[in-house]
Amino acid sequence: MKSFIQHTFSMLFLLFSSSVILSQDKNIQITGQLIEEATSQAIPYATVVLHDKTTKKIIAGTTSDDSGKFSISTSNSNFYLEVSFMGFETKNIQIFNISNNKADLGKIILAPDNQTLDEVVITGEVSKTVFKLDKRVFNVGADISSTGASALEVLNNVPSVNVNIEGEISLRGSSGVQMLINGKPSVLADESSNALGTITADMIESIEIITNPSAKYEASGTAGILNIILKKEEKRGWNGSVSVNTGIPDNHSVGLSLNRRTESFNLFAQLGAGYRSLPKDSEAINRDLVNDEVIFSTGTEYRDETFYNLTLGTDYHINDLNVLTLSANVAYEIEEQPSETIFSSFDANDALISSWMRNEVTDATNPKYKYELNYKKQFENNEDHTLLFSALGSFFGKDQSSEFINTTISGDDNDSDQKTVTNFQQADYTFKADYTNPISDIYTIETGAQYVINDVGNDYEVSDLTNGVFVTDEALTNNFEYNQKVLGVYGTVAYEREKWGVKAGLRVEQTNLKTLLTNTNVANEQDFTNLFPTVHSSYKVGEDFSLQAGYSKRIFRPRLWDLNPFFNIRNNFNVRVGNPDLQPEFTDSYELTSIYKIGNASLSSSLYHKYTTDMVERVSTYIDGVTITTPENIGTNSSIGFETNGKYRANNWLTITGDFNLNYFDRVGTFESQVFDFSGNQWSSRLGSTIGLPADIDVELTGNYQSGYETVQGNVTGYAHLDLGVRKKIFKGKAIVNLGIRDLFESRISEQLVSQETFETYSFAQRGRFITLGISYGFGKGEAMTYSGGRRR
């Protein structure tokens, strides 16, 4: 506060003193450059003031420029210089070497003010994980290997989180994760639209991992919640950063981030554009165990995307207690999905029946936009006493056309052509009101409501080439309409002492879901109301040891693609279809977590138990050589797991992080007279190290292992992979060059076997090695894109 008052007063005084100083003759000019002690980086916008030695009054004042340099003049010969900046010790200079009315002080080193820094929570380089009552916060600012990568790749570095080769997100080995952006649902967090690919690592400040959410959060997502917090600078004046990235396979992008903050407004903008190619090699074997016939396929498919992304927004500080935020995001993608697959069919004697090539040419355009209005009111009695209203609207569209050409290579004739046309539109609306009141130092209440509307239409048409003319296949053509409305109301009460605290809450949600196949007029409607209680507690045993415990009830509501009965015919021998009659699954989740520090190491361990009813599993059936996979509700799943993760800072140049998760499950269920009772386990681990080298070079190595596990009809193979990252600071840290290599040894795979009495289906996929090279530069008060989360004001 002292430095802030000095800064403000000196600026006011500067306006008056400058005119007087200019009129003086024989002024003494003092110059210098302000430098941080720890990093040798320049300190811009620090306060520089000249005082009269006798009266201590201010004679003149200025601030340092972008490079930390300053120049100040005075005709008073009896003065001393004072330099101050928040977070650093104030420095007084009494002795000057004056020559020709000039005094060059050179580089002035400012040391951090440890007392001030103790009051500021700094994440990033200091610690990747911060623990709170009902969540963990993972800061990704220093994750050098993810620079230039998408949000999905960043998530794959977060403890407890795994992203498979298809982009499916799991938390502690379980799917059904609810994704949020800045605490709210967003089209950018919709897995089915691949929109997370439009968020790059340099846009993310932190990720909240909520394995056992309180009643304040939406009850969907049986595995928990992942909340991506995007950066929004808070520095006064202009600041920003620009980044350029390239990679192999093609991964080229440019990004610009701008921020202008005044007393009343915070204007922010982000602009990005680029091109990326995502190749995938795949292999599949369909084996009929009744007649021993086999269909084998192998090929490569691509998803080539040109994308443009623009975000504009403003925070309007009506006064100290009221803030209005309006933001909008517009994105546009142009997709091409070429693929080439070789099919071969063999009889019981392994003799070739036929071999043919299937080529796909797919073009799509994906417009998407979202808009958001927030109003936040703080009350005078307490800054945590708040009322928040928010409204979010979003749209995602896909206009896609595909052509499939079969060309016989040998054997029986399999020449045929097909076309598909898809017109997909999704509109989502979310309205929220949240009220938080710390009614005393130990009691806090929260209450609020949320109303969510999801409205989707998927018009899908398949045509076959017959006698030179494409004829619509009515059996595969339909328009699927999906409309879901969820109303939720919640309340929580928290009691928190210095060492012990407890938080209890209840959420009520009413769901109305309607689906309709318009061509066949087949409709399905579900209407249900559920209660979702939550309890969380924490106990601080000592300064270095704490315990947390929690319980919550969760729901997984079937998504559009789980319900839509139509499918992509890229490989028409292995197809996935939805189930319009699929019911939601419910999970009771219990968790006990310990957090402790041992010297330079910090560790967190959790013991958890989940019991899920109406478990959703993908079940495969085999008809005429075609494997059809459909989600079904199959019985219950009881699991118990142990997870531990930690960080050890060996010295100032070596940091080691690790994560281990073991999950044992017991399945009970029956589907169409087939019993699916079995037990199994799966585990995953991650070990990473950050090594500081001379010349401001950092190296990061991250090894991952995902074990294999048993499924209701077969098994999934485990895999290990290694990521490498190198970072080099240049221009005194204002610019950073990053090199990242994903899957260094090309060992990350997706391999699954479905084995039943009458058939077997094997599938394999691999994306291979990805190399990225990027450079980012921060200007104004901005920093380079590896922004650590510690903000200067």
Percentage of the chain modeled with pLDDT above 70: 83
178 occurs within a structural domain: no
Of residues 696 and 783, the one with the higher pLDDT is 696
* pLDDT for res 506: 97
Q: What is the DSSP letter of 733?
A: G
Tell me the pLDDT band of 719, cut-offs 50, 70 and 90.
very high
Tell me the pLDDT band of 188, cut-offs 50, 70 and 90.
low
Best-predicted range by mean pLDDT among 108-117, 271-280, 777-786?
271-280
Backbone angles phi, psi at 420, to 5 degrees: -130, 150
Residue 645, both tokens: 């993760």
Contact 692, 652 (CB under 8 A): yes
Rg of the Cα trace of the chain? 30
Q: Above 60 in pLDDT, residue 193? A: no
Residue 606, both tokens: 């959790």
Q: Please, what sign has the CA dihedral across residues 590, 606, 149, 705?
A: negative
Tell me the pLDDT band of 173, cut-offs 50, 70 and 90.
low
Contact 241, 266 (CB under 8 A): no
* pLDDT for res 5: 39
* pLDDT for res 352: 94
Q: Which three-class secondary structure state does DSSP give residue 784?
A: coil
Contact 532, 520 (CB under 8 A): no
613 occurs within a structural domain: yes
* pLDDT for res 6: 44
Of residues 105 and 673, the one with the higher pLDDT is 105
Place of tokens 């003049």: 73
* pLDDT for res 124: 37
90: domain range?
Answer: 2-117
* Span of 50-64, 168-182, 507-521, 627-641 with lowest mean pLDDT: 168-182
Burial class (CB in 10 A: 0-12, 13-18, 19+), 95: exposed
Contact 376, 388 (CB under 8 A): yes
Q: Tell me how many degrees the CA angle 298-301-307 measures, rounded to the nearest 5.
A: 170
Strands 709-710 and 714-716: antiparallel
Of residues 713 and 58, the one with the higher pLDDT is 713
* pLDDT for res 94: 87
Phi-psi region of 633 (alpha: psi -120 to 50; beta: other; left: phi over 0): beta
Among the three residues 71, 86, 117, which one is the final residue of a domain in this structure?
117
Residues 250 and 108 in one domain: no
Q: Which three-class secondary structure state does DSSP give residue 14?
A: helix
Residue 281, both tokens: 């090699």
* pLDDT for res 119: 33
* pLDDT for res 546: 82
Q: Above 60 in pLDDT, residue 792? A: no
551 occurs within a structural domain: yes
Tell me the pLDDT band of 166, cut-offs 50, 70 and 90.
very low
Is the omega angle on the peptide bond into residue 249 within 30 degrees of 0, that is, cis? yes
Q: How far is the C-alpha of 713 from the C-alpha of 754, rounded, in Å?
A: 5
Residue 410, both tokens: 């040998």
Tens of pLDDT, residues 441-480:
889 999 999 999 999 998 999 999 888 899 998 888 888 8
For 379, residues 6+ apart whose C-beta sits below 8 A from its C-beta are 321, 385, 386, 387
For 465, residues 6+ apart whose C-beta sits below 8 A from its C-beta are 416, 417, 418, 419, 471
Q: How many domains does the chain have?
A: 2
* Span of 58-72, 292-306, 471-485 with lowest mean pLDDT: 58-72
How many CB atoms sit inside 10 A of residue 551's CB? 16
Backbone angles phi, psi at 599, to 5 degrees: 65, -120
Q: How far is the C-alpha of 666 from the C-alpha of 239, rounded, in Å?
A: 54
183 occurs within a structural domain: no
Q: How far is the C-alpha of 567 from the C-alpha of 576, rounded, in Å?
A: 6
* pLDDT for res 206: 82
Tens of pLDDT, residues 747-756:
999 999 999 9
Tens of pLDDT, residues 404-444:
999 999 998 888 899 999 999 999 999 999 999 999 888 99
Q: How far is the C-alpha of 201 from the C-alpha of 398, rounded, in Å?
A: 25
Residues 243 and 104 in one domain: no
Average pLDDT over residues 247-276: 85
Q: Above 60 in pLDDT, residue 122? A: no
For 210, residues 6+ apart whose C-beta sits below 8 A from its C-beta are 134, 135, 136, 217, 224, 225, 226, 227
89 occurs within a structural domain: yes
* pLDDT for res 789: 25
Q: 39-53 burial string, b = 16+ CB within 10 Å, else e?
A: eebbbbbbbbbbbee
Average pLDDT over residues 370-398: 89
Q: What is the CATH number of the domain that holds 7?
A: 2.60.40.10
Contact 503, 493 (CB under 8 A): yes
198 occurs within a structural domain: no
* Span of 199-208, 362-371, 622-631 with lowest mean pLDDT: 199-208
* pLDDT for res 12: 37
Q: How far is the C-alpha of 130 from the C-alpha of 597, rounded, in Å?
A: 13
Tens of pLDDT, residues 542-599:
777 888 899 999 998 888 788 888 767 778 888 888 888 899 999 999 999 887 777 7
Q: Give the helix ranges, DSSP H, for 176-301.
A: none
User: Number of C-alpha atoms within 13 angstroms, CB side, residue 343?
Assistant: 27
Average pLDDT along the chain: 82
342 occurs within a structural domain: yes
Q: What is the DSSP letter of 200?
A: B
The strand pairing partners of 369, in sequence order, are 330, 395
Q: How far is the C-alpha of 227 from the C-alpha of 92, rounded, in Å?
A: 45
Among the three residues 88, 117, 146, which one is the final residue of a domain in this structure?
117
Among the three residues 54, 89, 117, which one is the final residue of a domain in this structure?
117
Q: How far is the C-alpha of 599 from the C-alpha of 596, rounded, in Å?
A: 10
632 occurs within a structural domain: yes
Tell me the pLDDT band of 150, cut-offs 50, 70 and 90.
low
DSSP secondary structure letters along 440-501: SSSEEEEEEEEEEEEEEEEEEEEEEEETTEEEE-GGG-EEEEEEEEEEEEEEEEEEE-SSEE
pTM of the model: 0.72
